[in-house]
């Protein structure tokens, strides 16, 4: 679901570049932390059951999923910034 901002909202900069960068950094940091914790849990669980399976299947799978998540972050950040700007515009 994509939200688009009204032309009036797009004309004025509701968030400064610094604020946008800070929000993007927080989103990226929280994504990395969440992914690291889930990956560690999955790898540990698989390693306890079968260490060979953990190395041959779990690690490559974690790498592929991590890369896909990294590639999708820009869209997530853009949606979040649009949502924040829309909230600011409706408050004003």
Task: Locate 15 and state its tokens.
Answer: 């968030």
Tell me the CA end-to-end span of the chain in Å, nearest whole number.
24
**Residue 82 structural domain:** 17-91
Q: Is residue 9 part of a domain?
A: no
Q: Is residue 7 part of a domain?
A: no
Q: How confident is the model at residue 92 (pLDDT cuts 50, 70, 90)?
A: low
Q: Is residue 57 part of a domain?
A: yes
Q: How far is CA 67 from the centre of its chain?
A: 12
More confident residue, 54 or 2: 54
CA 85, 77, 68 angle in degrees (round to 5)? 160
Q: Is residue 50 part of a domain?
A: yes
For the entire predicted model, the pTM comes to 0.67
Q: Is 89 a residue whose pLDDT tops 60?
A: yes
The string of pLDDT tens digits covering residues 42-60 is: 999 999 999 999 889 989 9
Q: Is residue 11 part of a domain?
A: no
Q: Is residue 6 part of a domain?
A: no
Task: Provide the number of structural domains found in the chain.
Answer: 1
Q: Is residue 12 part of a domain?
A: no
Cα 28 from Cα 43, distance rounded (Å): 22
């Amino acid at each position: 679901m994509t939200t688009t901002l009204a032309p009036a909202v797009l004309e004025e900069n509701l968030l400064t570049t610094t604020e946008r960068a800070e929000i993007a950094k927080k989103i990226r940091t929280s994504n990395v932390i969440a992914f690291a914790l889930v990956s560690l849990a999955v790898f540990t669980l698989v390693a306890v059951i079968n260490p060979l399976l953990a190395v041959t299947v779990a690690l490559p799978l974690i790498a592929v999923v991590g890369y896909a998540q990294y590639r999708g972050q820009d869209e997530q950040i853009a949606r979040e910034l649009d949502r924040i700007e829309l909230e600011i515009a409706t408050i004003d």
